[in-house]
Amino acid sequence: MPTPNYSQEKRQRELLKKKKKEEKRRQKLQAKQEDEKSEPPGD
């Protein structure tokens, strides 16, 4: 039986974490843009 490739597993976890973080950032940015559109300009 081959030994487990821990560095490969770690890389996969890091990529998954990065992907989730990017998706969360994108959703926040989109929500912020929608808020700006819905607010009337000026006060």
Rounded-to-integer distance, Cα 6 and Cα 43, Å? 56
Q: How far is CA 41 from CA 4, 28, 29, 35, in A?
A: 58, 21, 19, 11
| pLDDT the model gives residue 6 | 95
pLDDT digits (tens, 9 = 90+) for 1-43: 889 899 999 999 999 999 999 999 999 999 888 888 776 665 5
pTM of the model: 0.64
Tokens of 33: 């843009």
